[in-house]
Amino acid sequence: MTLHATHIAKPATVSAVMLKVLAAMLPGIALSVHFNGIGVLVQLLLASVTALLAEAAMLRLRGVPVTPFLKDLSAIVTAWLLALAMPPLGAWWLIVVATLFAIVVAKQLYGGLGNNPFNPAMVGFAVAIISFPAQMAAWGSPLAPLDAAAQLQWIFSHTLPAGSALDAVSSATPLDLLKTGLLQGGRDVSQLLAGDRFGQLGNAGGEWIALGWLAGGLWLWQQKLIPWQTPLATLAGVVAMSGALWLAAPAHYASPLFHLFNGATLLAAMFIVTDPVSGSTTPRGRLIFGGLVGVLTVLIRVFGGFPDAVAFAVLIMNIAVPFIDQYTQPTVFGHKGGRRA
């Protein structure tokens, strides 16, 4: 029996931390299912099964014990984050391919948990949206989602029951709709946002889902499982960049609130940029890392080819993490200010 001094906290295990992360996602998942339908749960299930099988296969190939690493739940966390960023009505094979890239290439080929320089879930998403952009548009309509049977039929056979409208599965995201509308010309941002597809803050129903991610992230912070610097800096970067554009030309650029409550902004701020492996680990570094993720997200959304650019912003900043951490190390006690050797 192991005894612990009463004044010393027991060390948290990886599985215990991951379990709390999964629990923190539940409010956002519940709201996403409410607005988007059972397809969200199907994507989560497909991603989870694929992640566990891929993880087990790679661990066995590497000669590493399988059971302990499957029990740490890190593969499930990656699978859930990826599935929640993917379209709820995406074809079954799309989430499988994305998850395989996330687990096999971005995680296990680098040595497994703790060794991956890039966020695995964002690698999987980036591969999917670059390789299969048309299939990644299957978001459906939160205003009138298909019933459960129709969603299952579409995900697994790519067919719809008689009488179902195709736009019920091929509706683009608000970010994509806004960008496309502006490129076509003739209408400004306020006119486009007055359409039925947009809610109070841009995405009908999506505002509540975003608040679910925020609630889960705040709980993780209260549990001292994520630092405050990275999420706050990410949101500040989004607000600063989108606010500057909006103030300069409000007819052509959306407000900061639109950028905060659309796409994967809050999901990324609370669950993705806070990854301690692929993100910065120093206090100042977290502020720089998060702030630049926020700025890049807006810049790529507005001027790049992908309206929801969180994955690309995170992956770009993952490359810069070693440099950021090297030059933001705290001063060693007893030494004068300056970079630590």
**Which residues are CB-contacts of 140 (< 8 A; sequence separation ≥ 6)?**
36, 37, 39, 87, 88, 89, 146, 151, 168, 169, 171
Q: Which of 24, 79, 25 is nearest to 52 (CA)?
A: 79
Same domain membership, residue 273 and residue 235: yes
305: helix, coil or strand?
coil
* Residues contacting 151, CB < 8 A, separation 6+: 37, 38, 39, 42, 88, 89, 140, 145
On whether both 132 and 181 belong to a single domain, the answer is no
User: How far is Cα 304 from Cα 312, in angstroms, rounded to an integer?
Assistant: 10
Q: Domain check: are 176 and 324 in the same one?
A: yes
Q: Is the pLDDT of residue 6 over 90?
A: no
Cα 315 to the center of its chain, rounded Å: 12
Domain edge (last residue) among 105, 125, 160: 160
Is 183 in the same domain as 263? yes
Q: Based on the fold, state whether residues 176 and 325 are members of the same structural domain.
A: yes
Q: Which of 139, 160, 181 is the last residue of a domain?
A: 160
Q: Number of helices (H) and strands (E) in the chain: give both, helices first.
A: 15, 0
pLDDT of residue 181: 80
Mean pLDDT along residues 237-264: 93
Provide the 10 A C-beta neighbour count for residue 120. Answer: 30
10 Å Cβ neighbour count for 18? 20
For residue 130, give the DSSP letter. H
pLDDT at 219: 97
* 335 within a domain of the structure (yes/no): no
Say what the pLDDT of residue 101 is: 96
Contact present, 265 and 311 (Cβ < 8 Å): no
Q: Is residue 208 part of a domain?
A: yes
Residue type, 91: A
Q: What is the mean pLDDT of residues 80-98?
A: 95
pLDDT tens track for 114-133 = 899 999 999 999 999 999 98
Positive or negative torsion for Cα 113, 116, 119, 121: negative
Nearest to 98 by CA among 108, 86, 89, 88: 86
Nearest to 266 by CA among 206, 312, 226: 206
Instruction: Show the domain range for 213.
Output: 172-329
The Cα–Cα gap between 213 and 33 comes to: 13
Q: In this predicted structure, what is the pLDDT of residue 320?
A: 96
Query: Do residue 176 and residue 113 come from a single domain?
Result: no
Residues of the chain with pLDDT > 90, as a percent, come to 60
Q: What pLDDT is recorded for position 194?
A: 77
pLDDT at 196 over 80: no
205 contact partners, CB below 8 Å, separation of at least 6: 31, 34, 35, 36, 142, 143, 199
Rounded-to-integer distance, Cα 294 and Cα 283, Å: 17
Query: What does the mean pLDDT of the chain come to?
Result: 87
- For residue 248, what are its two tokens? 């300069």
Q: Is residue 2 assigned to a domain?
A: no
Query: Based on the domain organization, do 183 and 150 belong to the same domain?
Result: no
> What does the pLDDT read at residue 164?
65
User: Does residue 321 belong to any structural domain of this protein?
Assistant: yes
Contact present, 258 and 193 (Cβ < 8 Å): yes
CA 77 from chain center: how many Å? 11
Eight-state DSSP code of residue 44: H
pLDDT digits (tens, 9 = 90+) for 206-241: 888 999 999 999 999 999 999 999 999 999 999 999
**Structure confidence at residue 8 as a pLDDT band (50, 70, 90):** very low
Q: Are 62 and 108 in contact (CB under 8 A)?
A: yes
| 278 and 190 fall within a common domain | yes
pLDDT band at 322 (very low <50, low <70, confident <90, very high): very high
Residues 104-118 have pLDDT tens digits of 999 999 998 889 999
What is the structure's pLDDT at 336?
58
Window from 60-69, 136-145, 250-259 with minimum mean pLDDT: 136-145
Q: Residues 138, 276: one domain?
A: no
Query: What pLDDT is recorded for position 170?
Result: 61
Within a domain: 94: yes
pLDDT at 314: 97
Amino acid at 136: M
Do residues 151 and 179 share a domain?
Answer: no
Q: How many domains does the chain have?
A: 2
Classify burial at 8, counting beta carbons within 10 Å of its beta carbon; exposed 0-12, middle 13-18, buried 19 or more.
exposed
- Shared-domain flag, residues 141 and 21: yes
The answer to whether 273 and 218 have CB atoms below 8 angstroms apart is no
Assign 305 a pLDDT band (cuts: 50, 70, 90): confident
Q: What is the pLDDT of residues 143-181, one digit of tens each?
A: 667 888 889 998 999 888 876 666 666 666 778 878 888
Q: Which of 160, 190, 215 is the last residue of a domain?
A: 160
Tell me whether residue 6 is in a domain: no
Residues 145 and 185 in one domain: no
Block residue for tokens 């593969």: 75
DSSP 341: -
48 near 96, Cβ under 8 Å? no
Q: Is residue 222 part of a domain?
A: yes
Inside any domain, residue 40: yes
pTM for the whole thing?
0.89
Scan for tokens 């499957």, then name that residue: 70
pLDDT band at 59 (very low <50, low <70, confident <90, very high): very high
Which residue type occupies 150?
A
